[in-house]
């Protein structure tokens, strides 16, 4: 192809490119200036064409690669000198254009032709990669602008069948980055090309590129074509098994993207058994062997023998590639488990009380596969948690004990503890719930009895990790868990005792409704002595666990232990040389005061002077957090002891806080946030007496509530790093949005403080209502509005017209809201607010806006429910997501209820209120097993056979002795035997009402025969024993009287049920025909 660029220009631009890669900063900056000012600003087409030609024709491979990369970075940049437009909308559109949009069509075509030619001719790997990425960037930009690029598909198809492995790899890179190319192609042909590349053993990079292309194709493909593309999964798994460890890590990362997408995660379902066998070696999965000669620790002689880690487990010198593969396999498994947990959930084996046990097994039709997957994942986590790396000479332990940072489980990552395994176990427990618990507790008791301190530590941390996700089952066995954990507080190793504190604290948080109530003595008898531990990190973490305990305990239950707790906390506060211990002691004191309420008054005289002394001391960067904790503690103690006790020190405390408020702060200083929270607590403690101080408190509070979020858009080419206090969100267009979450936290805390002031002061807050609402409404902090409306309506600061305008803004937020939980909050907020201002003050525009918004939401919710109903009818796969669907439906039901209350308030005769009051019996809903368990088919056969034998024996006895009374026993035994055999049919479909009804009816009829036989036998026994005169009732009338009494009793029960009012236990209102009503 003849060059379109004159030789002189080529030479000049070539020199500029050469200068751009030089190490001399001055020369490089000069070249950049010339490139931008002379060429990019005024002659972008010539520059881009020249770069394309350099990427093809330059004799130096590095220069070809550099030219391709520079072309890619420049072509989609905004123009340096955009042409101004007088029209605002045209100016906005122009601001989003790039240099590519200003190129002529001929230049675009030339660029594509040159680059495609370079792609075919290139033989250097780095240059080929640069050209390929540039072509992909151009193709994506072209497709986004609805501009075809047919030549690319032809070229990529040719390269996919090339004999050059580098060109084949480039073809699949193109398919990966430009999936549009494959969308309109025949799926069978696409699958054949991808499958052929996956099976190729000549080049690993080609197989990797093909694997990535498969992942993108499967995730972006039309779901209707899933049946034609599902065949790709088997060659994908075969390729994964054949890769080397380092390559398997990359492949697993690619598959994790599929496993994390709900639409594609189901593709793995038929291959779960294969995946389980494949992941075992990746995770180093080996069941620990039992050494008969080994003995557990003497502290737990009754626990199972458990040797950990197995002898074959690689040590800390394990190859880096194997370690990376292990982590990637772990992430893949937990991602798939989180995305489609229903695949792996299975019933728990009932215990003797029928409620389930932590020692149970997993049952079910696919129980073996499910159990193997869950067991592989759980045991990999437990094994990894037990592999604590220690340096020689006990250096790790010394560093852990002398660490000056705030103790937490996250910090332990720096001291040899592999945090990733604990986090994975936590995620798996949340996803699987009760299906994970019995698997974990097969090994945890043995881990607690291991002679290795790291394994004992891991067992305790494992209990803490699974508590949140499995609390519904774990609470049934919490007594056994307490028996396991309590002895570990006497462990000789400090890190094990630290883990025991962590475990108890987590259990207090996750099961606070029963844990603190039932086991107060056991918990505090461990935590209180632990605060005397010689290791700072242990007694500090024990104090931290006391906070978790206080969150769910009543003041009366805590009162007997207050002396021991408070005295130890004061000792830590006054004598500990470590600042983080003092900070934790203050925080725990605050929570103890909050939990014990007025019972804390006896400690007030000794604690408040210490807090005042701490607050009056000079503030330094080192003592800043201590001052903040002292503020928080003083506020909570003020609420606990009450106004009469607190008001004597309140004035001095407020003066000190005002002095702190006037001091300058830095961006990383949390003092303003702690001050806001402390002001709100003092306000709650003093009540109306705090009103004179609002003039000092509200201005900085309004400033924090009005702070603007710090949002930055980061280009995909820039290096994205998560900074402290920031969060990064990925957008579909390849960009990243960086949000300063610390600012959002400050804003949220300010609104919470405003709510506390408004709800506490009521009408006395009237002067600050208007600026508060001006800040609240744009942010729609729904929980805040009701308190503000009560204050505004009481004081008359807000007029009825303004109240209607405010409510109108909230009503407009209802229609677009897609989250059912927040929708219910919005409707509740608006209904409560309207209740305050009164029905008579509602203007027609507001009523109409509410009606329109609710109708739109009803239509949207009805559509979503119909989609779920259709999904249920398609097959049994909905069982995978049954719990999630029920939770979503519960949130929708709450939204329905609040919506009905809102509509009923504005118009009691509103037609949609009829819909919201209807039963939901016609709507298909995910059904659960009618019995609390699934009957065992094996036991049903055994017991049914035994009763059938009894029936046959009774029949033989009947004919042998002509005993007509035996006929009743034959009926009873026969019906019961038939009912047990019907359980086999019911076990296959435990949600079928019809099968359950037939089975249960037959089983319930059997006692009638037995009872009738007993009645008949009783009179015959009396005749046989010549004891008729001992009966209180005539023997000939005995059977009739008993039968008549039973019939009368059944009839009375029937009348009672018939007179019962209709059940109010409705899962959700029906919206299937609401349009007919509205």
Residue 621 counted as domain residue: yes
Asked if residue 995 lies in contact with residue 989, where contact means CB atoms within 8 angstroms, the answer is: yes
Secondary element (H or E) of residue 278: helix 272-282
pLDDT at 575: 85
781: nearest Cα among 816, 806, 800: 806
Place of tokens 């994390």: 260
The enclosing domain of 197 has a CATH number of 1.25.10.10
- The residues facing 348 across adjacent strands are 362
Identify whether residues 371 and 456 lie together within a single domain.
yes
Identify whether residues 188 and 259 lie together within a single domain.
no
Identify whether residues 99 and 217 lie together within a single domain.
yes
What does DSSP assign to residue 739? Answer: E
Q: Is 1019 helix (H, G, I), strand (E, B) or coil?
A: helix
d(CA 546, CA 1048): 60
Identify whether residues 908 and 1005 lie together within a single domain.
no
Task: Calculate helix-pair angle for 453-474, 478-485, nearest 10 degrees.
Answer: 160
Q: Is 197 helix (H, G, I), strand (E, B) or coil?
A: helix
pLDDT at 1056: 54
d(CA 145, CA 226): 28
Asked if residue 304 lies in contact with residue 294, where contact means CB atoms within 8 angstroms, the answer is: no
83: nearest Cα among 58, 64, 70, 102: 102
Asked if residue 240 lies in contact with residue 251, where contact means CB atoms within 8 angstroms, the answer is: yes
Strands of 804-936 (E only): list them.
none
Asked if residue 817 lies in contact with residue 810, where contact means CB atoms within 8 angstroms, the answer is: no
The pair of structure tokens assigned to 834 is 């309207």
d(CA 468, CA 459): 16
Residue 231 counted as domain residue: yes
d(CA 228, CA 218): 11
Half-sphere exposure of 30 (CA within 13 A, CB side): 10
d(CA 517, CA 554): 8
Pairing, β 736-740 against β 726-730: antiparallel
What does DSSP assign to residue 933? Answer: S
580 to 326, 407, 637, 756: CA distances (angstroms): 36, 8, 21, 29
The pair of structure tokens assigned to 76 is 């989609």
Identify whether residues 55 and 189 lie together within a single domain.
yes
Phi/psi at 207 (nearest 5 deg)? -65, -40
962: left (phi over 0), alpha (psi -120 to 50) or beta: left
Q: Which residues contact 23 (CB under 8 A, 6 or more apart)?
A: none
Which residue range(s) make up the domain with 864? Answer: 800-919
Structural domains in the chain (count): 6
d(CA 85, CA 1029): 117
Residue 1074 counted as domain residue: no
Residue 549 counted as domain residue: no
Identify whether residues 905 and 980 lie together within a single domain.
no
d(CA 870, CA 885): 13
Task: Calculate helix-pair angle for 150-160, 187-199, nearest 10 degrees.
Answer: 40
653 to 558, 630, 639: CA distances (angstroms): 28, 11, 14
Dihedral sign for Cα 967, 973, 979, 982, please.
negative
Where b means 16+ CB within 10 Å and e means fewer, 612-643 reads bebbeeebeeebbbbbbbbbbbbbbbbbbbeb
Asked if residue 691 lies in contact with residue 761, where contact means CB atoms within 8 angstroms, the answer is: yes
pTM of the model: 0.71
Asked if residue 237 lies in contact with residue 268, where contact means CB atoms within 8 angstroms, the answer is: no
d(CA 362, CA 385): 24
What does DSSP assign to residue 37? Answer: I
905: nearest Cα among 837, 986, 970, 995: 837
Identify whether residues 584 and 606 lie together within a single domain.
yes
d(CA 320, CA 322): 5
d(CA 927, CA 912): 27
Identify whether residues 897 and 1032 lie together within a single domain.
no
- The residue among 475, 502, 526 that closes a domain is 475
d(CA 13, CA 967): 109
**Average pLDDT of adjacent 10-residue blocks, the chain of 1078 residues:** 72 86 83 84 87 89 91 86 48 62 89 91 91 92 87 90 89 90 84 88 87 88 70 88 88 92 86 90 55 33 38 48 90 92 63 36 49 91 84 65 55 63 92 88 92 92 90 84 93 93 91 81 92 91 92 86 92 88 92 88 90 88 87 91 88 91 82 89 91 90 79 53 59 56 75 86 83 73 44 57 75 79 80 76 81 83 77 57 72 82 78 58 47 72 84 79 70 81 77 75 75 74 76 74 72 55 36 37
- The residue among 426, 456, 475 that closes a domain is 475
Identify whether residues 223 and 272 lie together within a single domain.
no
Residue 306 counted as domain residue: no
Identify whether residues 669 and 790 lie together within a single domain.
yes
Residue 31 counted as domain residue: yes
If you count them, how many residues does the chain have? Answer: 1078
d(CA 289, CA 355): 31
d(CA 750, CA 743): 11
Q: Is 729 helix (H, G, I), strand (E, B) or coil?
A: strand
d(CA 199, CA 194): 9
pLDDT at 310: 38
Q: Is 881 helix (H, G, I), strand (E, B) or coil?
A: helix
Phi/psi at 711 (nearest 5 deg)? -120, 125
Residue 931 counted as domain residue: no
What is the full DSSP assignment across 315-341?
A: -TT--HHHHHHHHHHHHHHHHHHHHSG
Asked if residue 547 lies in contact with residue 587, where contact means CB atoms within 8 angstroms, the answer is: yes
d(CA 916, CA 901): 9
d(CA 810, CA 902): 12
pLDDT at 352: 34
Place of tokens 């030479």: 11
- The residue among 861, 884, 919 that closes a domain is 919
741 to 629, 723, 746, 775: CA distances (angstroms): 22, 10, 9, 19
Residue 740 counted as domain residue: no
Asked if residue 1019 lies in contact with residue 1039, where contact means CB atoms within 8 angstroms, the answer is: yes
Asked if residue 581 lies in contact with residue 539, where contact means CB atoms within 8 angstroms, the answer is: yes
753: nearest Cα among 706, 788, 701, 689: 701
Q: Is 355 helix (H, G, I), strand (E, B) or coil?
A: coil
699 to 213, 254, 762, 791: CA distances (angstroms): 57, 52, 19, 19
Q: Which residues contact 929 (CB under 8 A, 6 or more apart)?
A: 990, 991
Identify whether residues 767 and 847 lie together within a single domain.
no
pLDDT at 930: 64
| Number of separate helices (H) and strands (E) present in the chain | 50, 3
What does DSSP assign to residue 476? Answer: G
Asked if residue 460 lies in contact with residue 423, where contact means CB atoms within 8 angstroms, the answer is: no
d(CA 341, CA 433): 9
Identify whether residues 758 and 826 lie together within a single domain.
no
d(CA 666, CA 684): 29
Within 10 angstroms of residue 311's Cβ, the number of other Cβ atoms is 9
Task: Calculate helix-pair angle for 125-144, 61-75, nearest 10 degrees.
Answer: 20
- The residues facing 214 across adjacent strands are none
- Identify whether 43 is preceded by a cis peptide bond (ω within 30 of 0): no
């Amino acid at each position: 192809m003849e060059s379109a660029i004159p030789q002189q220009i080529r030479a000049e631009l070539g020199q500029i490119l050469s200068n751009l890669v030089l190490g001399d900063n001055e020369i490089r900056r000069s070249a950049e200036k010339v490139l931008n000012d002379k060429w990019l600003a005024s002659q972008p087409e010539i520059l881009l064409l020249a770069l394309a030609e350099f990427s093809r024709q330059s004799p130096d491979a590095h220069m070809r690669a550099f030219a391709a990369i520079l072309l890619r970075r420049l072509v989609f940049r905004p123009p340096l000198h955009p042409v101004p437009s007088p029209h605002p909308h045209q100016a906005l559109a122009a601001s989003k254009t790039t240099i590519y949009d200003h190129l002529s069509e001929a230049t675009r075509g030339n660029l594509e032709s040159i680059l495609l030619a370079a792609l075919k001719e290139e033989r250097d790997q780095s240059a080929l990669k640069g050209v390929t990425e540039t072509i992909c960037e151009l193709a994506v930009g072209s497709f986004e602008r609805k501009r075809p690029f047919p030549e690319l598909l032809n070229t990529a198809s040719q390269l996919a069948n090339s004999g050059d492995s580098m060109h084949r790899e480039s073809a699949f890179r193109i398919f990966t980055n430009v999936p549009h190319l494959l969308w309109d192609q025949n799926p069978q042909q696409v699958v054949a090309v991808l499958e052929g590349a996956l099976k190729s053993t000549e080049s690993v990079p080609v197989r990797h590129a093909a694997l990535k292309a498969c992942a993108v194709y499967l995730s972006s493909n039309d779901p209707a074509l899933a049946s034609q593309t599902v065949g790709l999964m088997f060659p994908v798994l075969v390729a994964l098994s054949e890769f080397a460890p380092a390559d398997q890590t990359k492949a697993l990362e690619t598959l994790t993207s599929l496993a994390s997408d709900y639409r594609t995660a189901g593709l793995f379902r038929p291959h779960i058994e294969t995946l389980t066998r494949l992941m075992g070696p990746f995770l180093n999965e080996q069941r620990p062997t039992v050494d008969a000669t080994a003995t557990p620790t003497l502290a737990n002689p009754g626990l199972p023998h458990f040797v950990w880690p197995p002898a074959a487990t690689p040590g800390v010198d394990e190859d880096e590639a194997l370690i990376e593969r292990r982590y990637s396999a772990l992430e893949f498994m937990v991602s798939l488990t989180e995305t489609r947990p229903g695949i792996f959930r299975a019933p728990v084996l009932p215990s003797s009380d029928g409620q389930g046990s932590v020692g149970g097994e997993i049952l079910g039709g696919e129980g073996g596969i499910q159990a193997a997957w869950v067991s592989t994942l759980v045991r990999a986590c437990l094994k990894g948690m037990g592999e604590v790396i220690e340096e020689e000479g006990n250096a790790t332990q010394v560093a852990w004990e002398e660490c000056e940072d705030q103790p937490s489980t996250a910090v332990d990552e720096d001291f040899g503890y592999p945090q990733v395994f604990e986090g994975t176990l936590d995620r798996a427990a949340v996803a699987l719930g009760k299906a994970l618990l019995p698997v974990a507790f097969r090994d945890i008791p043995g881990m607690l009895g291991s002679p290795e301190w790291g394994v004992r530590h891991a067992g305790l941390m494992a209990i803490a990790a699974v508590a949140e996700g499995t609390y519904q089952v774990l609470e049934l066995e919490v007594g056994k868990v307490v028996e396991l954990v309590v002895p570990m507080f006497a462990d000789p190793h400090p890190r094990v005792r630290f883990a025991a504190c962590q475990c108890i604290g987590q259990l207090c948080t996750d099961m606070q409704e029963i844990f603190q109530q039932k086991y107060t003595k056991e918990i505090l008898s461990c935590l209180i002595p632990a605060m005397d531990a010689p290791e700072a990190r242990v007694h500090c973490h024990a104090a931290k666990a006391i906070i978790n305990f206080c969150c769910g305990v009543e003041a009366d239950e805590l009162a007997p232990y207050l002396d021991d707790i408070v005295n130890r906390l004061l000792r830590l506060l006054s004598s500990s040389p470590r600042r983080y211990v003092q900070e934790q002691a203050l925080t725990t004191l605050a929570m103890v005061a909050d939990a014990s309420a007025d019972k804390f008054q006896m400690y007030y005289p000794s604690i408040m002077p210490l807090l005042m002394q701490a607050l009056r001391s000079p503030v330094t960067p080192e003592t800043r957090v201590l001052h903040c904790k002292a503020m928080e503690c003083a506020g909570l103690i003020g609420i606990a002891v009450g106004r009469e006790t607190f008001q004597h020190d309140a004035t001095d405390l407020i003066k000190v806080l005002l002095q702190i408020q006037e001091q300058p702060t830095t961006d990383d200083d949390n003092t303003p946030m702690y001050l806001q929270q402390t002001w709100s607590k003092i306000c709650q403690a003093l009540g109306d007496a705090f009103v004179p101080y609002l003039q000092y408190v509200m201005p900085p509070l309004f400033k924090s509530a009005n702070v603007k979020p710090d949002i930055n858009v980061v280009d995909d080419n820039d290096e994205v790093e998560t900074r402290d206090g920031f969060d990064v969100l990925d957008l579909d267009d390849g960009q990243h949005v960086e949000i300063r979450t610390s600012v959002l936290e400050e804003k949220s805390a300010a609104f919470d403080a405003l709510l506390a002031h408004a709800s506490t002061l009521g009408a006395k807050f009237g002067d600050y209502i208007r600026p508060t609402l001006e800040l609240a409404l744009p942010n729609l902090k729904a929980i805040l509005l009701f308190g503000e409306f009560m204050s505004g309506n009481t004081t008359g600061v807000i007029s009825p017209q303004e109240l209607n305008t405010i409510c109108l803004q909230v009503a407009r937020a209802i229609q677009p809201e897609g989250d059912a939980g927040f929708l219910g909050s919005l409707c509740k907020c608006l209904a409560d607010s309207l209740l305050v201002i009164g029905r008579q003050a509602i203007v027609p525009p507001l009523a109409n806006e509410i009606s329109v918004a609710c109708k739109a939401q009803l239509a949207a919710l009805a559509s979503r429910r119909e989609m779920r109903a259709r999904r249920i009818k398609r097959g049994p796969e909905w069982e995978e997501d049954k719990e999630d669907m029920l939770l979503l439906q519960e949130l929708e039901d709450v939204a329905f209820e609040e919506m009905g209350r809102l509509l009923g308030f504005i118009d009691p005769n509103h037609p949609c209120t009829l819909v919201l009051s209807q039963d939901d019996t016609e709507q298909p809903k995910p059904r659960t097993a009618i019995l609390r368990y699934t009957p065992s088919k094996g036991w049903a056969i055994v017991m049914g056979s035994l009763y059938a034998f009894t029936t046959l024996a009774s029949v033989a006895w009947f004919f042998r002795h002509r005993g007509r009374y035996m006929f009743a026993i034959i009926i009873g035994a026969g019906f019961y035997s038939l009912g047990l055999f019907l359980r086999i049919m019911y076990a296959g479909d435990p949600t079928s009402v019809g099968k359950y009804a037939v089975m249960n009816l037959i089983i319930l009829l059997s006692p009638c025969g037995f009872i009738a036989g007993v009645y008949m036998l009783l009179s015959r026994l009396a005749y046989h024993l010549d004891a008729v005169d001992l009966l209180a009732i005539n023997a000939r009338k005995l059977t009739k009287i008993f039968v008549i009494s039973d019939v009368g009793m059944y009839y009375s029960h029937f009348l009672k049920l018939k007179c019962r009012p209709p059940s109010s236990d409705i899962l959700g209102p029906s919206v299937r025909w609401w349009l007919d009503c509205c």
